Chain A
Amino acid sequence: MPTYEKILLKNMETPGYTGDLAAYERAGGYQAVRKVLAESTPEQVVDVVKRSGLRGRGGAGFPTGTKWGFIPKDPSVPKYLCVNADESEPGTFKDRQLIERDPHQMIEGTLIAAYAIGAKVAYIYLRGEFALGARVLERALNEARAKGYIGKNVFGSGRDIEVWLHRGAGAYICGEETALLESIEGKRGLPRAKPPFPAINGLYQQPTVINNVETLANLPHILTRGPEWYAAIGTAKSPGMRIFSVSGHVKRPGNYEVPLGIPLRELIDEHAGGVRDGHRIKAIIPGGASAAFFTPEHLDVTLDFESIAQAGSMLGSGGVTVMDETTCMVWAAYNLMGFFHHESCGKCTPCREGSVWLYRILGRIEHGEGRPEDLDQLVRLCGNIAGKTVCAFGDAEVAPILSTLKHFRHEYEAHIQQKRCPMHPNVLAMAAH
């Protein structure tokens, strides 16, 4: 198995590492931000991150330095940094580990980002269910505050950077950056229509950057070891290490930090131990539930933003779900549609009305009540949702359906012809929401 130098998981995989402030500092933590505050201007930090080629790890893969560059420079305008720790994409569990095991790494990244964009306040939007993460983060923030690393005059730099934990309360859509802002403002988490964009009109109508946990965790390392070092890892357009969360029918589910650009096959077979014994792979979701299904034909696609997109899916959140031949594809699509139906915020007509319609059709097919015209209907309805909504949720919810229909249309047809699920003849109805 190829091995790589760990960056983000290095500390926590060191035996005895507790993740508290002392342990983090012993491992060299808080040196990067200290140095940045003392020696670099915000513009220089933005420049370093731009040169590193770091791209957002939340899903869209937007270049982080460029995103920061959209923030107006006017010092009289308050600016905000929001940390997207609302990890909710099915199949993804890396941020949870970064938060629970090494919170200070992320906090240091937060301070660097806040300094770079001129934000005096950062909010960490933590998924509501992460009660343990909340305890860990609250303690870490208190440790850092007690040391003068956050709050007034951080590290004696004369700068004030407050970092507050803001807990969500159970809504997938709050991972969408403008829904996240609404949620911090205490409202229903409905994505905002854009324009205006958050960089100009974000939290409390002020310029705002929203960065993912993993994105921020990279920053101390980039600032310490230099952009060239970072850019050399991975591929030219997708530099750096990436944590992939592997789940489903593999022998060793878990988080694996590998350079971007390794083949999907290596991740599944080498790192995650391969598919469970006696079985073979049938389908893979390469980037969370919003990404189109792959088939074994795609195992040689390399895990970088461009290659996966070219192959018809997306790198997304890095959540890789592996399904073996025992899995019914209609059932899998129906399961995920249940998720999307439950999580649609209801703001946009196509998604609100379309998600329930799709869910009903899939349910009928899976339960043996499908009609031949349903398949074209599914495709048509998906087309009326994708690209027609305020946020990317509309595109996400149709991906599992369209891709399973594309690769496994015969399974749908078998359901309709046999008037039952051929693979799970006794399938229990997924409980209604």
Chain B
Amino acid sequence: MSTSTPATTTVTLTINGQAVTVAKGTLLIEAAKQAGVDVPHFCYHPKLKPDANCRMCLVEIEKMPKLQTSCNMPVAEGMVARTDSPKVAEARAGVLEFILANHPLDCPICDKGGECHLQDEAHAYTPNYSAFREPKRFFEKEYFGPLIDKEMTRCVQCLRCVRYCDEIVDSRALGSRDRGSFLQIGGLVNKELDCEFCGGCIQICPVGALTNRVAQYDFRPWQLKKIETICPHCGDGCRLKVESRDNVVVRVTSDAGRGRNNGDLCAKGYFGFDAVNRDDRVKKPLVRRNGQLVETSWFEATALVAGRFAAIKAQHGGAAIGGVISADASNEDLYLFQKFMRLVLGSPHVDSTARYGHHNTVAALREVTGHGRMTASYEDLDRAQAFLVIGADLTETNPIVSYRVKHAVRFQGAKLVTVGRYGPNPGAFVSNLVNRATHPLTAAPGQERAVVLGLIKSLIEGRRVDGRLIQESPRYVERLSGLASRVSWDQLTAQSGVARPAIEAAATVYADAERAVALFGRDVVRSRGAADTIRLIADLALLAGKLTAPGCGLGPLADEANAQGAVELGAAPEYLPGLVPAGDGEAGRRVASAWKDELPSGPGWSLMEMLEEARAGRLKALYLVGDDPLRSLPASAKVGEALARLELLVCQDAFLGPSAEAAHICLPAATMAEREGSWTNHEGRVQRGKQALDPVGEAQADVAMFSDIARTMGYPLDYADAKDIAAEIARVAPAVAPKGASVHPGAVQPAVVSQYLSNGYEQDVERRFAPESSPRAASAYPFHLTLIQSLFRSGALTARSTALAKVPHQAKLLIHPDDAAALGVGSGGTVRMRSAQGAAEVVVRVSTKARPGRVLFPEHYLDTVRDLIPIEVDPATKVPTFRETAVALERVAAAAVPSRNGAG
């Protein structure tokens, strides 16, 4: 629902004799830019609040006795400014003389050389000599840790890094120390930097004071090939610039003003690229001979895969073959894969890793909004007056969305209601959204739905239901009111642990805000009964009038880069491209006729069903593209058993993961940097990425491999390039095709909402209004463990990043100070954690983010912890849940004395 607010008034001023008309409130420096006049500056940055400290942007303004900084001066009607007068030139030269006086001029060995503001401005505005004859200032060298280098002698004290770390990221890990000519930037003395490692301070530094240690001394900027693509690490959909030299990624950056992220990145985007360069990539096709995977040629590998698929298809039918693809893949990969599975292999069994969660969202929302996209755009987040964030640890899962939410809360005064299992942890450098909540509703694990029910109940009882909805859909409102009244407050508060007044206050905040957005994430999406909870959140938005109103909406947050595309393009047994139900005969025929072929008959199996069928011997072959179920699923999923029974396991991946180690054939795949394509972020924005590198070794893009195998099997699936595939997607699935940059692709489909309000809501309505109690913790296992997402590792690629592995404080069991004290452990101590499934030893970190009796551990670090968790599959959406369980803890090593404050 993005609507840009038109400038209500404009102001006309004169800059260097030229009349300029700009929006009221524009800063003079920006007005000058619009007039084509560049004003030199160091401390100013359009993302940050002006600080006017560098004094480089001084200009002359008529009727003002002194020169004025243009970076903090709002334009005024009739203002007459000069940036080209002798007075201004003298002032600029003076400021630069002061900056250069103590600057080391070590440009030849400075990584910033060639893209340095100071070089550019000095070149343009200073005389070619210096009158400075004093000893240069010296700062003791301090190290910022393994990822970021600080060279204070080069610093111009503009504080852009400090301000960025505060205003944009809210990490507040950088500060300025001491004062006057001793002023320097830094974290705590003698401490390595402990922060979100977003790299933003490096990117925003105008000089070489902060540089990327991962790329240190590896390049001169002009030697780098710079290609833009889309980040593969979460659903935020950030535009990155892959900068390479000799086909090796040297660094990743992102330009301000570019992409949905406006140049902001997180640790994974900025530092996590190095996995691409690893030596242990799969570089050639591998086939199993005498129990060993050995290298072979593409010709032989393709022939072998095609031959084995054909043989199994001939003997058992196409339905004996299944395929699963990673939801990080591009739209083109996803589309072609499902087409390959359905037409070439003749199998309905195609799925993706979106099965781990996003399918719950789509199942719940497809009949409410028409899709599973965010119905609010990022711009709506910026302008929101209230947020409901339900079951989402935003900083860790969707950092760029979290920047926008925190910014709106801190600087626009937006109210923030958080519903979830995390407590605030003030003093921590990795900013926790709950720290910023105006209404933190900290609930028992798995009780997000009870709180949502409470919010609905509050709306109804407080007579805050949208008036138009009451008028237009009285039956819906009546029905839901009736159901809500059957749930007692006693039950809701007892189950959730959240007090009624707190819920009521939060409901008021949500209902009263003109522009309110409800976001929800993995603690809802990847939990038991997720679809019911999500549907209930949609009911809440509808009742509050916040689903379709301008500036409002729902925001399902995706963990994977292309969960949207995976489902929308039909890499799912239940959907054909365009989110068309596979069982819908009429729609299916339209797709089939576009493909000029028959669709395979019978219901398709989901990922978990495929594994079960493999164990039962009915699924004979499995084609895994970028997915590694042995790595992703806990022991209780018995993946090994399933894979072992297959006649054929083909793995197509960039790395040899555990599943690939068990494969009959491995095909080397290109990574995000080595292929072109488009990705659909959780807003529904389809964004193109270009190929930055040639694939390593003999690796190939997924689409090329599908085409090769298909051709060998006698069913050509040939396309000229990614655009050619995109054109077919637009034809086959017009419903999900991009509608242009100005249209928010997640806009609610009005016909679907009306349908829902007239009778669609009845489906499972009683069930979702019946709060489910959490299983009572058995006394043998008194703690509740949740597997959480980490900002620094979210999957196979990031797990292989050497740079990210250097970030401190990872892979720790977060435990509340009271529990830590009771166990007698402090941060750095070790505990043994037992569940009904087994035991694991873990190092603890004391933090109030974990609530008493509940511990948190990040996924993708220790298989032993993952294996403590039993798996459960949702009978309707087939989504596997393996995120929480009851555990017992016992101390192994105490380490430091527990601090009750537990910053961390």
Contacts and interface: CB of A to CB of B under 8 A. Distances in A.
Interface residues of A, number: 31
A349 B179 contact: no
Interface in A266-294: none
Contact size range, B: 35 or more
Given A361-B134, A388-B94, A341 B52 contact: no
A360 B134 CA distance: 7
Interface string B721-761: 00000000000000000000000000000000000000000
B101 A349 contact: no
Interface in B59-77: 66-67, 69, 72-74
Interface stretch (B180-188, B440-448, B517-525): B180-188
B176 A352 contact: no
A329 to B, nearest CB: 22
Interface in B118-164: 131-135, 137, 156-157
B581 interface: no
A344 B53 contact: no
A341 B181 contact: yes
B805 interface: no
B69 A193 contact: yes
Dominant SS among interface residues on chain A: helix
B50 interface: yes
Contact of B97 (A171, A360, A384, A387): A384
Interface of A: 171, 188, 193, 195, 341-350, 352-357, 360-361, 371, 377, 380, 383-384, 387-390
A98 to B, nearest CB: 29
B72 A195 contact: yes
Nearest to B91: A388
Contacts of A389: 55
B16 to A, nearest CB: 21
Contact of A348 (B55, B74, B91): B55
A341 B181 CA distance: 8
B56 interface: yes
B55 A349 contact: yes
B719 interface: no
B215 interface: no
A380 B181 CA distance: 19
A346 B94 contact: no
Dominant SS among interface residues on chain B: loop
Interface in B75-116: 91, 94-95, 97-99, 101-102
B58 interface: yes
B180 A346 contact: yes
A342 B182 CA distance: 9
Given A188-B179, A349-B98, 4 more contacts: A349-B53, A349-B56, A388-B94, A390-B52
Q: Which 10 A-B pairs have the closest CB atoms?
A: A384-B94, A193-B52, A346-B183, A353-B98, A356-B181, A344-B180, A360-B134, A346-B180, A193-B72, A346-B179
B51 interface: yes
A383 B66 CA distance: 13
B54 interface: yes
Given A195-B73, A353-B181, A360-B134, A348 B94 contact: no
B118 to A, nearest CB: 12
Contact of A347 (B53, B95, B98): B53
Contacts of A360: 134-135
A349 B53 CA distance: 7
Contacts of A355: 180-181
A350 B66 CA distance: 15
A345 B157 CA distance: 12
A348 B53 contact: yes
Of B50, B52, B156, most buried by chain A (CB within 10 Å of CB) is B52
A357 B133 CA distance: 9
B401 to A, nearest CB: 27
Interface string B306-333: 0000000000000000000000000000
Of A342, A348, A389, most buried by chain B (CB within 10 Å of CB) is A348
B805 to A, nearest CB: 35
B101 A353 contact: yes
Contacts of B176: 188, 346
A390 B43 CA distance: 13
B264 to A, nearest CB: 24
A387 B66 contact: yes
B182 A357 contact: no
Contacts of A354: 98
Contacts of A384: 91, 94-95, 97-98
20 contacts: A171-B179, A193-B69, A193-B72, A195-B72, A343-B180, A344-B179, A346-B182, A346-B183, A349-B56, A349-B98, A349-B99, A349-B156, A350-B98, A352-B180, A356-B181, A377-B131, A384-B94, A384-B95, A388-B58, A388-B67
Contact of B53 (A341, A343, A387, A390): A390
Given A188-B176, A341-B181, A357 B132 contact: yes
B50 A357 contact: no
Contacts of A350: 55, 94-95, 98
Nearest to A353: B98
Contacts of B74: 195
Nearest to B178: A346
